[in-house]
Amino acid sequence: MSTRDRFKQRFNFEFRNKDKEIQARNYSIFWAAIKNIIILILIMTPIFVYTYILYHNINSIRYVEYRYDGKPIWDYLTLPNGNQFKSLLWSGYAFFFIDIIALFFLKSFVTGKNTRLQKFFFIYSVALIGFISIFLFALSQYQYSRFHDFYVYEALTMNDSKFEFVQDLNEFYASNYLDQKSFYNWESTVVVWWVMIGQLIVIFACAIMLQNAIFGKTIDSDVDYKAKITNEDSLPIGNKLARSFAKIFRNTDKNIAAFVLIATLIIIIPNLVYSILSTTRGTNLTALITWSYKMPRYLADLKDGTSVVAIDELASLYYGHLFLIASLPLISMGLTIASLFFFFAILVRGESISNKIFIFEISTLFVEVLLMITFMLVSKIYMSRLEDYWNYKLASGTRAFEFFEDLKKILNNNERKDDVFTSLTNSFKTGKMMNKDGFNIEWFNRYGIIAEGIISYAFLFGTYSISGYDIYKLTRSEQN
């Protein structure tokens, strides 16, 4: 068989059919794909706005083009590479257009001579391409937001004590930051990930919608699982109450999905609370991230700021990568929440699915939850270590208190006699770090964090082991 013939078998481009039901189904699937394209374009609307901002912001253009002794500013300070803004953005657009093309071919593929399992994975391949596109867009926005924080810092801290490699950039930004307003502001680094989580949820919901249009009530199932005997020890069903209990505890895909869903939500909820606290302006957790990971990198442009920054000690003893501490936990949680839509669909529609697909989905969710717990645990441990670092007692108070007192003297030592320190701390919130007696993060102490991690791991392995055994019993029941 030639390649052309195999292609024709795989892809059926015909819409009209003598059988009116088949014809109606063809148009229904095509319309579902068009609706997905429209939804995809709508959730990408912020990206179109961001693209406009990126190409019209004279400050970001200046950042990318600025050179001192032939070197860009990110060679002198720990800052995002400006060349990545557009490269990540257009890589995201490339996957976005691939996703659009794949949706146009969706009807042709699912009505061709392909197995139901192949059709199912085609749908989730479309979802995966959409995720890659969103992730690349988010990375570009994340890098831009890091630049914008630096831009605001430079605009607020015009000072004669800055190193020469940043002085021209400092003056340029200060002249463009009128009345402490930025006309090309964008989402903060943490908001970027929250928006991405929302977009992921929409994409997975769209995948479920396509699944419904193509497979209807059942997915890749040659056996009606509702007709199977799923428990060897049958419960008495002599009355409605006993029948209800029998239905609840019966070993079915719907009950397994409910069990996995509830167990995963129990793990997610405390981590969701932590994520909200660590991304809310004004909390001690957010202040720790800002003044431990962002500001020391910016303050390194001050000639007499060495005693203030103490960056060597902070980097060697307490530093973790900002992306690992503040971003990966949110990304992993977003993926986990989005994946739960598969199990929501089973509960809502009450459908049966093949064990292969079920095993794949539960295995994927298990890995996502495992990564989420790990990234969250690492983030919490680093936050606890940073709390200890800044609360270390010195003669005049805590290390944090002395840090801000020294910073005030340096920043307010300018010819204009402006209160630069107040402007900076108003823009980049300090939480309660300036308290002379110390502060506490809004979470458990170190031992509580370790105990929380142990409980989460034990609960994860326990619940998913039970689910795996239940799926094994369903498989054996189907074979018998």
Residues 76-117: tens digit of each pLDDT: 998 999 999 999 999 999 999 999 999 999 888 888 887 888
- Give the model's pLDDT for residue 217: 47
The domain limits of the chain are 1-216, 222-480
Helix H or strand E segment including 360: helix 355-390
| Averaged pLDDT for residues 451-457 | 95
Based on its alpha-carbon atoms, the radius of gyration of the chain, rounded to whole angstroms, reads: 28
Task: State mean pLDDT over 343-355.
Answer: 66
**What pLDDT is attached to residue 248?**
42
Give the tokens for residue 445: 């102490």
The pLDDT value given to residue 43: 93
Average pLDDT over residues 193-197: 91
Q: Provide the pairing of β-strand 393-394 with 397-398.
A: antiparallel
Confidence of residue 35 (pLDDT cuts 50, 70, 90): very high
pLDDT of residue 311: 54
pLDDT at 65: 95
Question: What's the distance, CA 462 to chain centroid?
Answer: 26
Least confident of 204-208, 245-249, 312-316, 334-338: 245-249
Q: Above 70 in pLDDT, residue 445?
A: yes
Mean pLDDT across the stretch 248-264?
75
Report the pLDDT value the prediction gives residue 347, as an integer from 0 to 100.
74
Return d(Cα 453, Cα 447) in angstroms, integer.
Answer: 10
| Local structure of 231: helix, strand or coil | coil
User: Residue 384 — pLDDT band, cuts 50, 70, 90?
Assistant: very high
Of 54, 48, 200, nearest to 132 by C-alpha is: 200
Contact 137, 116 (CB under 8 A): no
Tokens of 289: 């991230």
Which tens digits make up the pLDDT trace of 107-131? 888 888 878 888 888 888 999 999 9
Query: For residue 164, is it left (φ>0), alpha (ψ between -120 and 50) or beta?
Result: alpha
> Secondary structure of 277-298 in the HEC alphabet?
HHCCCCCHHHHHHHHHHHHHHH
Q: What is the DSSP letter of 144?
A: H
Residue with the two structure tokens 């699982």 = 225
Closest CA to 211 of 129, 130, 123, 114: 123
User: What's the confidence (pLDDT) of residue 240?
Assistant: 46
Q: What's residue 100's pLDDT?
A: 95
Of the two residues 226 and 143, the one the predictor is more confident about is 143
The residue assigned the tokens 């060495």 is 306
Q: What is the DSSP letter of 227?
A: G
Cβ atoms of 278 and 383 within 8 Å: the answer is yes
Residue 199, burial from CB neighbour count under 10 angstroms (0-12, 13-18, 19+): buried
For residues 127, 93, 91, 11, the Cα torsion angle rounded to the nearest 10 degrees is: 50
Whether residue 425 is predicted with pLDDT greater than 70 in this model: the reply is: yes
Identify the H or E element spanning 394: strand 393-394
pLDDT value at 11 more than 60:
yes
Which residue from 158, 151, 78, 146 is spatially nearest to 421, judged by alpha carbons? 158
Q: How far apart are the C-alpha atoms of 296 and 308, rounded to whole Å?
A: 9
pLDDT band at 243 (very low <50, low <70, confident <90, very high): very low
Query: What was the pLDDT predicted at 358?
Result: 76
What does pTM read for this prediction? Answer: 0.85
| pLDDT given for residue 359 in this prediction | 80
DSSP 118: H
Q: How far is CA 93 from CA 97, 134, 187, 280, 387, in A?
A: 6, 9, 19, 30, 41
Question: Using CA atoms, how far apart are residues 224 and 26, in angstroms rounded to an integer?
Answer: 25
- Read off the pLDDT of each residue in 265-287 and give the average, rounded to a whole number: 93
